[in-house]
Amino acid sequence: MSEKTFPVSAEFAAQANINKAQFEEMYARSIDDPEGFWDEQANKYVSWFKPWKKTMDWSFDQEDLHINWFTEAKLNVSYNCIDRHLEKRADQVAIIWEGDSPEDTRKITYRELHEEVSKFANVLKARGVEKGDRVSLYLPMIPEAAIAMLACTRIGAIHSIVFGGFSPEALASRINDSDCRVVITADQSMRGGRRVPLKSNADIALEHCPNVHSCIVVKRGGDPIEWTEDRDVWYHEAVDAASADCEPEQMDSEDPLFILYTSGSTGTPKGVQHTTGGYLVQAAMTHEAVFDYKEGDVYWCTADVGWVTGHTYIVYGPLANGATTVMFEGIPTYPDISRFWEVVDKHNVSIFYTAPTAIRSLMGAGNEPVEKTSRKSLRVLGTVGEPINPEAWEWYYNIVGNGKCPIVDTWWQTETGGHMMTPLPGVNDLKPGSAMQPFFGVNPVLLDDEGNEIEGSPAAGNLAIDRPWPAMIRTVFGDHKRFYETYFSMFKGYYFTGDGARRDEDGHYWITGRVDDVLNVSGHRLGTAEIEAALGLHEKVAEAAVVGYPHDLTGQGIYAYVTLMDGEVGTDELKTELVKLVRAEIGPIAKINLIQWSPGLPKTRSGKIMRRILRKIATNEIDSLGDTSTLADPSVVDDLIEHRENS
């Protein structure tokens, strides 16, 4: 939609890890000679105890569905993220922890990380955790979360992290689905000055989890908690008593590394299973290439470790590269709305990675809270999670980045394990809202509804991938059939992403949202993301979500939920203005039929708008809202139902 481009500066390109010519040569090789290409990358980014026999071995067929990378090779993730760095960077800070309160900061060097991880690995062993066992983590954003993840990988246990904002029910169902016997939690979590009683949530969950025999509790807030003798253990007491000597287990490249449940914006969460070798190669490589990471950078990804972004881009990618990674416990608006930028200045953050939902909400508060900070350390910005509307992109670029930091708009999924499509900061002239081009080794295709590849540009269709990539999902935990059905049954021979995309005249990709969200108005296919971006151009609009509903004349009508900057209810004149704006931006076919003023939108805990609920409200199917357990604030839904527009 936005035709503006933001050229890469000659200065940035000259110092970049990858420039345009290198990109083109490397990309071509990654597609034409994937085995040769990935062999090299695997040797460059990861240290192996034993080399592989075959680089890749795979089939997307129903009978034989399997994906293997670096077969029979041996490695250990915690060894790669810690031990191998000790010779050169033992005293370098590995993790900068920034607590909820600006007074709480902690810096952990690689040497200290090695000691803490080894000790905690021994604690897990002492509680009976063995290679292949699943361990559930229900933790705030504290260093112990990263330590526990790495400790699991050290002994070959498989972690399953459940976001600390989830309810006891959500926790119990995830513990049981993956049969975890050990749970690691904290007494409280602190977010925005508020305390969330994690341990008592876990207590409620564990009433429904008969197989859990150990609950290890980190002391964070210090409030009194209930205690179950024999089952509950204080983290600090157990670690104090443990030895700091723990040999890393030699894991097979295809041994499971972790299970992570998807955010549930389209249905019941799936236990996405990732394995060891391929995942680590892609995590490390993307972290270095996409963020132009270099020695000396301070890197900050604001995600929670409860999401895949936190796994790959707070912990595994950065630590595999020996980086200094920032881990933030709090929220962007506490103690005030400048917090992100204050943290950037405090720690001299040079690479900053966040989500469109955060950018949009901070943009709503204006420029002053940003402009009063320096941000001079920043050099690369990133976004992930949803399509970013050009309006928010430009604000991020001009105001946050002072017009000098390239933005990498990274498209990927829990299932992909790492970045799949993204500009590279030293390569692309950026187009706001476009994920631009595939990463190395990724061959995206656009399919029509019959599964035929649509050649040429411009084009639009279902976004699929025609071959495996190293960090790809290997199965849905305990349900290989669902794995096939969800990703490979729709279009035979392809991994189907569930997203739609278009390819512009220049061959650049734009994610148009989930295909379930594509509207069909009088036979024209319209992406919800495009209409939402057009609404976002109006200065009074903070956020918008668009869904379709059955319409007698046009097949589908367009129903827009609009949140205004002031959070208030707008006038009828404003509705008319918005309808005109969208019409002018996209064309007469994009005629909005109904607008509902929505002070809040239903979002997942990771901040994504749950359009399936909005669809149900628009079509008045209130009694079949489906799984709402992953909603951040369920009360938003009642308000929307009460004020729905009659379709």
Between the CA atoms of 236, 240, 242 and 248, what dihedral angle is there, to the nearest 10 degrees? Answer: 70
Gap between the terminal Cα atoms of the chain: 28
Here the contacts of 103-107 (C-beta below 8 Å, separation 24 or greater) are 104/329, 105/346, 106/143
Contact in structure between 108 and 144 (CB atoms under 8 Å): no
Q: For ligand ATP, which is the closer residue by CB, 264 or 438?
A: 264
Half-sphere exposure for 446 (CA within 13 Å, toward CB): 19
Select from 47-55, 91-99, 362-370, 378-386 the region that touches ligand ATP (CB under 6 A).
378-386
615 is in an annotated binding site: no
Q: Which of 186, 326, 344, 384 binds ligand ATP (CB under 6 A)?
A: 384
The 70-109 contact track toward ligand ATP, x by CB under 6 A, reads: ----------------------------------------
SS3 276: coil
Q: Which two tokens stand for residue 587?
A: 């064309």
Q: Which of 511, 546, 578, 590 binds ligand ATP (CB under 6 A)?
A: 511
According to the binding rule CB under 6 A, does residue 265 interact with ligand ATP?
Answer: yes
**Beta strands at 380-383 and 407-409: parallel, antiparallel or unpaired:** parallel
According to the binding rule CB under 6 A, does residue 248 interact with ligand ATP?
Answer: no
194 is in an annotated binding site: yes
Residues 105-144 that bind ligand ATP (CB under 6 A): none
Q: Which of 411, 469, 496, 561 binds ligand ATP (CB under 6 A)?
A: 411
Select from 111-119, 213-221, 261-269, 293-301 the region that touches ligand ATP (CB under 6 A).
261-269
Q: Which of 41, 414, 437, 554 binds ligand ATP (CB under 6 A)?
A: 414
The site for ligand ATP, by CB under 6 A, has a size of: 23
- Which phi and psi angles does 412 have, rounded to 5°? -170, 180
Euclidean distance between CA atoms 469 and 497, whole angstroms: 13
Between the CA atoms of 340, 345, 348 and 352, what dihedral angle is there, to the nearest 10 degrees? Answer: 30
Q: Which of 78, 185, 263, 325 binds ligand ATP (CB under 6 A)?
A: 263
Q: Which of 385, 468, 527, 602 binds ligand ATP (CB under 6 A)?
A: 385
The 594-613 contact track toward ligand ATP, x by CB under 6 A, reads: --------------x-----
Q: Which of 386, 391, 530, 543 binds ligand ATP (CB under 6 A)?
A: 386
User: What would you report as the CA-atom Rg of the chain, rounded to the nearest whole angstrom?
Assistant: 24
Q: Which two tokens stand for residue 172?
A: 């119990």
522 is in an annotated binding site: yes
Sole residue written with tokens 């229900």: 138
Contact in structure between 117 and 78 (CB atoms under 8 Å): yes
Q: For ligand ATP, which is the closer residue by CB, 134 or 608?
A: 608
Q: For ligand ATP, which is the closer residue by CB, 387 or 432?
A: 387
The 278-317 contact track toward ligand ATP, x by CB under 6 A, reads: ------------------------------x---------
538 is in an annotated binding site: yes
413 is in an annotated binding site: yes
Q: How far is the CB of 638 from ligand ATP (least distance, A)?
A: 23
According to the binding rule CB under 6 A, does residue 330 interact with ligand ATP?
Answer: no
Which parts of 276-383 are beta strand (E)?
Answer: 298-301, 324-328, 351-354, 380-383
DSSP string covering 93-150: EEEEEE-SSTT-EEEEEHHHHHHHHHHHHHHHHHTT--TT-EEEEE--SSHHHHHHHH
Select from 66-74, 76-84, 406-414, 558-566 the region that touches ligand ATP (CB under 6 A).
406-414
According to the binding rule CB under 6 A, does residue 410 interact with ligand ATP?
Answer: yes
Q: For ligand ATP, which is the closer residue by CB, 154 or 605?
A: 605
**Beta strands at 214-218 and 182-186: parallel, antiparallel or unpaired:** parallel
Select from 4-12, 33-41, 379-387, 474-482 the region that touches ligand ATP (CB under 6 A).
379-387
Q: Which helix (H) or strand (E) holds 513?
A: strand 509-514
Contact in structure between 277 and 79 (CB atoms under 8 Å): no
410 is in an annotated binding site: yes
Alpha helices in 127-266 (DSSP H): 143-155, 168-177, 198-206, 235-240
Euclidean distance between CA atoms 274 and 472, whole angstroms: 7
571 is in an annotated binding site: no
Contact in structure between 538 and 606 (CB atoms under 8 Å): no
Residue 580 neighbours by CB distance under 10 Å? 11
Between the CA atoms of 608, 613, 614 and 619, what dihedral angle is there, to the nearest 10 degrees? Answer: 160
342 is in an annotated binding site: no
Q: For ligand ATP, which is the closer residue by CB, 68 or 604?
A: 604
Q: How far is the CB of 509 from ligand ATP (least distance, A)?
A: 10
Which parts of 319-422 are beta strand (E)?
Answer: 324-328, 351-354, 380-383, 407-409
Q: Which of 114, 191, 274, 514 binds ligand ATP (CB under 6 A)?
A: 514
- State the angle between helix axes of 635-642 and 611-618 in degrees (0 to 180), rounded to the nearest 10: 30
Q: How far is the CB of 269 from ligand ATP (least distance, A)?
A: 5
Q: For ligand ATP, which is the closer residue by CB, 253 or 262?
A: 262
Which segments are annotated as binding site for CoA? Answer: 191-194, 309, 522, 583
Which segments are annotated as binding site for Mg(2+)? Answer: 538, 541
User: Can you give the binding site for ligand ATP, defined by CB under 6 A?
Assistant: 262-266, 269, 308, 384-387, 409-411, 413-414, 435, 497-499, 511, 514, 608
Which segments are annotated as binding site? Answer: 191-194, 309, 385-387, 409-414, 499, 514, 522, 525, 538, 541, 583
